[in-house]
Amino acid sequence: MYGSDGAGDEEPLFRPYAVTGGRSEPRYHLAMETLISSMSIPDDEMALLTPEQEAIMQLCRSFRSVAEISALLRVPLGVARVLVADMSDEGLVRLHQPRLSQGQPDLNMLERVLSGLRRL
């Protein structure tokens, strides 16, 4: 999502909050460790997606955390949360919220997030 000016400095190709209509928080809580997977949609609907939505759909063919999406797209976490929440509302992605068992996060989920972060 960033380009180079030739001098080694990376500049955003767009203002990140422009793609969210200025919103920095989703309509509901979305933890950064929430795992996201993309839904299958017809090719004609894929053509209607924004570049950001298309990138998220591609990334989430395998499970990705909101934090990973933010890092890979090089957008602030708030922007990634808003985009993902909006896409969930539209039925484009599925949210896999962590389940807390007696106040403890699921160990399997933490291992998947850690593995994903290591791949960054």
- What per-residue confidence (pLDDT) applies to 72? 92
Residue 55: closest CA among 25, 14, 99: 14
CA dist 48 and 111 (Å) reads 35
Q: Are 38 and 71 in contact (CB under 8 A)?
A: no
Residue 10: what pLDDT? 54
Band (pLDDT 50/70/90 cuts) for residue 7 is: very low
- Whether residue 53 contacts residue 92, with contact meaning beta carbons closer than 8 Å, is answered with yes
Interval 39-53: pLDDT, tens:
999 888 888 999 999
> Residue 69 corresponds to which tokens in the numbers above?
């999406």
Which tens digits make up the pLDDT trace of 23-74? 767 788 888 889 999 999 988 888 899 999 999 999 999 999 999 999 999 8
Check: CB of residue 24 under 8 Å from CB of residue 17.
Answer: yes
Question: Residue 22 — pLDDT band, cuts 50, 70, 90?
Answer: confident
